[in-house]
């Protein structure tokens, strides 16, 4: 059967050139959640590292350091400036509080937990001039090991076009990992301490990113700035202010399992990205204020320039990268792109001696951009609406502490968590997301920084979008699923300071929103390597 070039099937782009693209972007994004810090400043890193004298690397006290670097709690601030009597890693840890990147809702990877720490005193030398520097990178591989089609059949489906990104078209793919798929990314963060000039906790930060992928729908190739921001506190740290270009997702919700960014697998929520929230690898103009009412209670709000929710491909991340290649455009070239408003309240208690970790947070999002209106697409394939909303509720609790006697080991133990997210069904391809998770941080005394996790999730598709896709199935040979269920098991192994390897399996009964006959389920082998310099 040849694909008919009817106005409805072409304009809808729906099946599959457009709205299904929007879904793809959303599912994929949180599939890679914080997924990658797609960026690189290798040349910048080489320049900065040359600022200090290169000496023989010192032996770090890795066992002590791994215990201090509790993944789900804040690393204790150093009580004094690093000195020559401290190990390379200990000196690097001591620099975190002042020179580490500030603003994330989960711990930013420590300078002490890096491949080079402060070897040769290079970080100490940079800090003496007010600078901090970090490179983070990851590589991800996925492949479906079930005996199912590796690609969409070449006949009976729309031909791939320039905006299809090789998805939902003849000979293309339906999801990342349908056939062997790989991506690699790096990001660089350069910070400058402004507290030396009397600004409380003041910091200027600049970021870059570089990424390459075999699947442009999952994550596009990038080489761009990834942040220029100002951060400071007021009223004895009760108020935090951050302004500039930066990503929102690492600063809200906390979707990473255990707050540990080195494991990219498990959660697959799409609602925040569909509503325009910028993920880790994409910075947008942003202003955020956080009020720390007590040591555990907080409230925060942000106004962010939205990702383009109605771009050429329907993939908001791809359209952001390609319409704004420098990463510095204040306004989006994509018409109808406006502001996303985010509000979150939470209770967060760090692990301590005989006191388990607890974190409850809830947020509301409203985007006043122009969205596709799925509810009116039968009558008008180009129907739009102004504004879309969503909310989320997440909770994590440490059920058991396996080493509660020390503040440096109290984080170790078993945790459970749950998430619920909702997005406007008129504009969000997946309108409801449910997740249950169980994970063990430091499962063995000899492996205090490893992570074992199990995540079960369910994505419920918009009924309006299902109706539109199914209404065109006679022409497209695609039908819509009502929901997708997934289960992921993974183990993150700390190879050495600054290097983490993750392996796992992920099963999804219906791995794509638009489904072709015989597509089948997926059981993906999941492999990842994460490095910190």
- DSSP per position, 276-332: T---TT--EEEEEEEEE-SSSEEEEEEEEEPP-TT-SSS-HHHHHHHH-TTS--SS-
Domains by residue range for the chain, with CATH: 7-222+233-532 (2.40.160.180)
Q: Where does 373-450 show beta strands of DSSP type E?
A: 384-401, 413-423, 430-441
Pairing of strands 284-292, 239-246: antiparallel
- Asked whether the beta carbons of 74 and 68 are under 8 A apart, the reply is no
Note the pLDDT tens digit of each residue in 445-502. 999 999 999 999 999 999 999 999 999 999 999 999 999 999 999 999 999 999 999 9
Q: How far apart are CA 174 and CA 478, in angstroms?
A: 11
85-105 pLDDT, tens digit each: 789 999 999 999 999 999 999
Give the angle 165-170-175 at the CA atoms, nearest 5°. Answer: 50
Q: Could you tell me if residue 235 is left (phi over 0), alpha (psi between -120 and 50 degrees) or otherwise beta? A: left
Using one digit for the tens of pLDDT, what is the confidence trace for 374-405? 999 999 999 999 999 999 999 999 999 999 99
What does the alpha-carbon distance between residue 396 and residue 307 come to, in Å, rounded to a whole number? 29
**DSSP string of 69-90, one letter each residue:** S-TTSPPPPPSS---TTS-HHH
pLDDT at 16 exceeding the cut of 70: no
Q: Using one digit for the tens of pLDDT, what is the confidence trace for 55-70?
A: 333 333 333 333 334 4
Q: Which residues contact 197 (CB under 8 A, 6 or more apart)?
A: none
pLDDT digits (tens, 9 = 90+) for 140-177: 999 999 999 999 999 999 999 988 999 999 999 999 99
Residues near 3 by Cβ (< 8 Å), separated by ≥ 6?
9, 156, 157, 158, 159, 170, 475, 476
Task: Report pLDDT for 316.
Answer: 93
Q: Name the pTM for this structure.
A: 0.85
Residues of the chain with pLDDT > 90, as a percent, come to 80
Residue 117 backbone zone (phi > 0: left; psi -120 to 50: alpha; other: beta): left
The pLDDT, as a whole number, for residue 28 is 39
Q: Which of 289, 292, 300 is nearest to 238 (CA)?
A: 292
- Average confidence score pLDDT of the chain: 87
């Amino acid at each position: 059967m040849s694909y008919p070039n009817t106005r409805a099937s072409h304009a809808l782009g729906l099946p599959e050139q457009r709205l299904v693209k929007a879904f793809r972007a959303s599912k994929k994004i949180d599939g890679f959640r914080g997924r990658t810090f797609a960026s690189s400043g290798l040349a910048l890193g080489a320049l900065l590292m040359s600022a200090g004298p290169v000496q023989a690397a010192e032996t770090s006290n890795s066992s002590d350091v791994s215990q201090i670097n509790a993944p789900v709690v804040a690393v204790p601030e150093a009580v004094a400036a690093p000195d020559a009597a401290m190990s390379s890693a200990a000196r690097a840890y001591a620099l975190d509080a002042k020179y580490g990147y500030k603003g994330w809702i989960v711990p930013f990877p420590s300078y002490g937990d890096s491949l080079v720490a402060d070897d040769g005193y290079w970080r100490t030398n940079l800090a003496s001039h007010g600078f901090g520097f970090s490179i983070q990178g990851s590589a991800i591989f996925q492949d479906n090991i079930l005996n199912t089609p590796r690609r969409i059949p070449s006949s009976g489906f729309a031909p791939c076009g320039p905006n299809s990104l090789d998805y939902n078209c003849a000979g293309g793919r339906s999801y990342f990992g349908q056939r062997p798929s790989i991506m690699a990314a790096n990001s660089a963060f350069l910070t400058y301490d402004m507290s030396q000039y009397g600004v409380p906790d003041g910091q200027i930060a600049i970021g870059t990113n570089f990424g390459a992928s075999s699947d442009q729908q999952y994550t596009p190739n990038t080489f761009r700035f990834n942040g220029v921001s100002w951060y400071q506190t007021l009223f004895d740290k009760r108020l935090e202010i951050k302004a500039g270009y930066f990503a929102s997702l690492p600063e809200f919700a906390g979707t990473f399992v255990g707050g540990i960014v080195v494991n990219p697998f498990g959660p697959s929520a799409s609602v925040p990205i569909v509503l325009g929230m910028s993920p880790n690898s994409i910075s947008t103009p942003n202003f955020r204020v956080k009020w720390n009412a007590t040591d555990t209670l907080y409230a925060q709000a942000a106004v962010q320039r939205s990702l383009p929710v109605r771009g050429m491909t329907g993939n908001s991340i791809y359209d952001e990268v390609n319409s704004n290649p420098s990463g510095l455009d204040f306004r989006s070239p994509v018409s109808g792109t406006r502001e996303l408003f985010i509000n979150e309240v939470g209770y967060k208690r760090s692990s301590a001696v005989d006191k388990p970790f607890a974190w409850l947070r809830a947020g509301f999002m409203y985007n006043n951009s122009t969205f596709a209106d799925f509810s009116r697409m039968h009558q008008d394939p180009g129907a739009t609406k102004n504004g879309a909303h969503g909310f989320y509720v997440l909770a994590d609790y440490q059920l058991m502490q396996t080493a509660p006697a020390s503040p440096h080991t109290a984080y170790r133990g078993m945790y459970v968590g749950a998430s619920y997210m909702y997005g406007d069904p008129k504009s969000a391809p997946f309108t409801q997301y449910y997740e249950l998770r169980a994970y063990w941080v430091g499962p063995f005394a000899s492996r205090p920084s490893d992570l074992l996790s199990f995540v079960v999730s369910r994505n419920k598709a918009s009924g309006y979008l299902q109706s539109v896709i199914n209404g065109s199935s006679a022409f497209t040979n695609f039908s819509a699923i009502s929901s997708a269920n997934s289960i992921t098991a993974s183990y993150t192994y700390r190879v050495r300071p600054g290097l983490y390897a993750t392996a796992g399996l992920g099963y999804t009964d219906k791995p794509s929103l638009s489904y072709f006959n015989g597509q089948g389920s997926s059981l993906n082998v999941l492999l990842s390597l994460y490095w910190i310099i």
